[in-house]
Amino acid sequence: MAHFEKANSLNEWLDQRLAVNTLRRVLAKEYWIPKDINFLWAMGMVLAVTFGILLVSGIFLLMYYQPNVATAFDSVNYTIMQEVEFGWLWRHVHAVAASVVFLIIYIHMFTGIYYGSYKKGREMIWISGMLLFVAFSAEAFSGYMLPWGQMSYWAGMVITNLFSLGSLEVNSLVEWIRGDYVPAQAFLDRFFMLHVLLIPLAILALIGIHFGALRIPHVNNQKGEEIDFKVEAEKYKAGNKAASKVIAFANDFMSKDMFVVAVYLLFFFYLVFWHFNFAMDPVNFDPADGLVTPAHIYPEWYFLWSYEILRPFSKDIGLIAFGFAQVIFFLLPFLDRSPNAVPASRRGAFMLWFWIMVVDMIVLTAMGKLPPEGIFSTIGLVAAVVFIALWVALPFITKLEKKC
Amino acid sequence: MNQTRRGFMGKAFGAVAGVGAVGALYAMKKSWDPLPSVKAAGFTTIDVSACVANKLIVEKWRGKPIFVLKKTAEMVASQNEEQAARDIVVGDDHFMIAIGLCTHLGCIPAYREDKKDFKCACHGGEFDFAGIDTLAPPPSPLVIPPFKITGNSVVLGEEGPEYKKMKESGVIA
Ligand code: FES
């Protein structure tokens, strides 16, 4: 057995058994962050905090929610909302966080795209981040099912129907996923399991990988400058903090991170207390009914852009376009052929690409919410084609980019 | 330790784990199949004698809405071959019976009595009164469920001779 000395403090006692000092050093005190980054780099921390909020509020909802087609609706809309003290709070916190988390994810993603933070050794950060996006999407979708309202039911119907793979008509696969011919008890039970256990586990694992992927390439910075972290860290450790281009994650950078988190939380709780309705679809306050479709089915705002890419085309082409939209972001590090990991503003045509992409996705989002008629379908179709064209053009315009 | 012996242990473990993994995956796949009770509840009998022409009736079979539409004499007379092939004839009456889920993404189209067609609100698809798709995105006609005609009733979930005939002639894919 290893040799143990008598410990003089709790810290020392723990250090001998858990190496807490080494952990603190590696994870916080000597984890180096470039000085030259702005508040957009705090979105990772904002996301981590939001995930924590989702976890805690989810646990409180879980204690009263009943995954049964006969009682699910009332357990949410009556028991939790009316009977459980502060039940409304957990529900509104959970719903608002589930919606806002996507806003932050999109900001986080587009920050990464703008500053080229997916390139040159940072590919795994990007890919693990995209996997997190997919896991969060699955988590959001499965959670949306649980109140068993009209939108839940029909969203479940429409999304699982996608797995019949268009004209291939693989209905047995759809029935297998549902465990029934239509969304019913088996469906609710298994999506409940996915929502409270399997997907959160996957998310936790992916967060670990995402953080781990940062350790070696380190985070990018505002100018895209290549920093020698070893040299800069030595300066910092020698006490020359002003000259060093890096600072320690804790407590130096954390203070800035947490400031952003504090501002965010003010905004977040403002939404929870005064504007929670945006995260609740009115149609979902009708109990699920397999014999009545709501007049107009649309997903939550964060899925609208990819929904709109599916919608204007015929069934099979729509499905292919939709699949394209889901996977194409994964390939970004490989489709961008320029080695410049600098802000888009210094990259010429890429800057145009970036802003057209942002605007196009906003247009797709707006069209996805509007009924699919007349001019809206046309705009939606154009926007969907532009989206695809942008990705096709990306390798060419980035290839032509000069090294800067 | 002897390397070949270690190699053998590795391979033996691999074999056991492989068999175990295949077995576990098979069990997992089967666990998600629809339960026997779900499958057994898959029959519904519809009495069509009380139907009124050009009035849509919606029944439920396997949790899905079933459209039952008795056609008027003019509707029957105006039908082309493709539409007529989908008729389900009970006694002297002609019916359209189909699963009331849009073949695009599964919304329930609404019947418009004046226009004698179905409109799907979700993405604007349309079907005629025989259930044939007339306006995209739906890629195919409304699905005719397996049926059997007995007297004045239609039993859904069972393949009767009329259904089999439709299948042979290619009306039902
Ligand atoms: S579900 Fe009917 S048109 Fe799309």
Q: What is this model's ipTM?
A: 0.76
- Give the gap in angstroms from C-alpha A357 to the nearest C-alpha of chain B: 25
CA of B102 to the centre of ligand 1 (A): 5
Nearest to B143 by CA among B104, B114, B115, B117: B104
- Give the gap in angstroms from C-alpha B61 to the nearest C-alpha of chain A: 9
Task: Provide the terminal-to-terminal Cα distance of chain A, rounded to the nearest Å.
Answer: 57
For residue A291, the chain B residues in CB contact (below 8 A) are 58, 60, 65, 108
Name the residue type at position B39: K
Task: Kindly list the residues of chain B whose beta carbon comes within 8 Å of any beta carbon in chain A.
Answer: 29, 32-35, 38, 42, 58, 60, 62-65, 104-108, 121-124, 136-140, 173
**Contacts of A381 by beta carbon, 8 Å cutoff, 6+ apart:** A312, A313
For chain B, say whether A169 makes contact (Cβ under 8 Å).
yes
Q: Please say whether the dihedral angle defined by the alpha carbons of residues A282, A284, A288 and A290, taken in this order, is positive or negative.
A: positive
Instruction: Band the pLDDT of B25: cuts 50, 70, 90.
Output: very high
- What's the token pair of residue B24? 């576990």
The pLDDT tens digits of the residues spanning B57-100 come to 888 888 888 898 888 877 777 878 777 778 887 777 888 888 88
Report the alpha-carbon distance of residue A76 to residue A144 in Å, rounded. Answer: 12
Helices then strands, counting H and E runs in chain B, come out as: 5, 11
Residue of B nearest to A163 (CA): B105
CB contact under 8 A, A180 and B34: yes
The pLDDT tens digits of the residues spanning B114-140 come to 878 888 877 778 888 888 888 877 888
Q: Decide whether any atom of ligand 1 lies within 6 Å of the B120 Cβ.
A: yes
Mutate to test the pocket of ligand 1, among B67, B104, B108 (most ligand atoms within 8 A of CB): B104
For chain B, say whether A369 makes contact (Cβ under 8 Å).
no
**Least CB-CB distance to B139: which of A181, A190, A314?**
A314
Q: What is the DSSP code (8-state) at residue B38? A: H
Write phi, then psi, for A382 (nearest 5 degrees). -60, -45
Residue A386 or residue B149, greater confidence? A386
For chain B, say whether A12 makes contact (Cβ under 8 Å).
no
Mutate to test the pocket of ligand 1, among B101, B111, B118, B123 (most ligand atoms within 8 A of CB): B123
For chain A, the farthest-separated pair of C-alpha atoms sits apart, in whole angstroms, at 80
Report the alpha-carbon distance of residue A325 to residue B94 in Å, rounded. Answer: 45
Burial environment of residue B8 by CB neighbours within 10 A (0 to 12, 13 to 18, 19 or more): exposed
Tell me the C-alpha to C-alpha distance, in Å, between residue A196 and each of A92, A140, B46, B139.
18, 11, 41, 37
Burial environment of residue A131 by CB neighbours within 10 A (0 to 12, 13 to 18, 19 or more): middle
Tens of pLDDT along chain A (404 residues) come to 678 888 899 999 999 999 999 999 988 899 999 999 999 999 999 999 999 999 999 999 999 999 999 999 999 999 999 999 999 999 999 999 999 999 999 999 999 999 999 998 899 999 999 999 999 999 999 999 999 999 999 889 888 888 877 667 777 888 899 988 889 899 999 999 999 999 999 999 999 999 999 988 999 999 888 899 999 999 999 988 889 999 999 888 988 999 999 999 999 999 999 999 888 888 889 898 888 887 777 888 999 999 889 887 777 888 899 999 989 999 999 999 998 888 998 888 999 999 999 999 999 999 988 876 778 888 989 999 999 999 999 999 999 887 76
Q: Decide whether any atom of ligand 1 lies within 6 Å of the B105 Cβ.
A: yes
A191, A292, A293, A310: best to mutate for the B interface, most B CBs within 10 A: A293
pLDDT score of A89? 95
Element (H, E) at B40: helix B36-40
Nearest to A122 by CA among A276, A372, A333: A333
For residue B58, the chain A residues in CB contact (below 8 A) are 291
CB contact under 8 A, B63 and A182: yes
pLDDT score of A91? 95
Cα torsion at A27, A33, A37, A38 (round to 10°)?
A: 30
Q: Decide whether any atom of ligand 1 lies within 6 Å of the B122 Cβ.
A: yes
Nearest to A335 by CA among A119, A115, A112, A107: A119
Atom of ligand 1 nearest to the CA of B120: 2
Atom of ligand 1 nearest to the CA of B138: 3
Element (H, E) at B26: helix B3-31
Whether the CB-CB separation of A87 and A80 falls below 8 Å is answered with yes
**What string of H, E and C letters represents the secondary structure of chain A?**
CCCCCCCCCHHHHHHHHHCHHHHHHHHHHCCEEECCCCHHHHHHHHHHHHHHHHHHHHHHHHCCCCCCCCCHHHHHHHHHHHHCCCHHHHHHHHHHHHHHHHHHHHHHHHHHHHCCCCCCCCHHHHHHHHHHHHHHHHHHHHHHHCCCEHHHHHHHHHHHHHHHCHHHCCHHHHHHHHCCCCCCHHHHHHHHHHHHHHHHHHHHHHHHHHHHHHHCCCCCCCCCCCCCHHHHHHHHHCCCCCCCCEEEHHHHHHHHHHHHHHHHHHHHHHHHHHCHHHHCCHHHHCECCCCCCCCCCCCCHHHHHHHHHHCCCCHHHHHHHHHHHHHHHHHHHHHCCCCCCCCHHHCCHHHHHHHHHHHHHHHHHHHHHCCCCHHHHHHHHHHHHHHHHHHHHHHHHHHCCCCC
For chain B, say whether A166 makes contact (Cβ under 8 Å).
yes
pLDDT score of A189? 95
Element (H, E) at B167: helix B161-168
Residue of B nearest to A186 (CA): B34
Instruction: Band the pLDDT of B39: cuts 50, 70, 90.
Output: confident
CA of B124 to the centre of ligand 1 (A): 6
Sequence-distant contacts of A348-353: CB under 8 A, at least 24 apart: A348/A401, A348/A402, A349/A397, A349/A398, A349/A400, A349/A401, A350/A397, A350/A398, A350/A401, A353/A390, A353/A393, A353/A394, A353/A397
Tell me the C-alpha to C-alpha distance, in Å, between residue A83 and each of A64, A86, A194, A367.
10, 9, 27, 39
Instruction: Band the pLDDT of B1: cuts 50, 70, 90.
Output: low
pLDDT score of A355? 96
Report the alpha-carbon distance of residue A282 to residue A275 in Å, rounded. Answer: 14
CA A322 to chain centre: 18
Atom of ligand 1 nearest to the CA of B102: 2
CA of B136 to the centre of ligand 1 (A): 9
- Give the gap in angstroms from C-alpha A32 to the nearest C-alpha of chain B: 42
Residue A164 or residue B23, greater confidence? B23
Q: Is pLDDT at B173 greater than 80 in this prediction?
A: no
Residue with CA at minimum distance from ligand 1 atom 1: B105
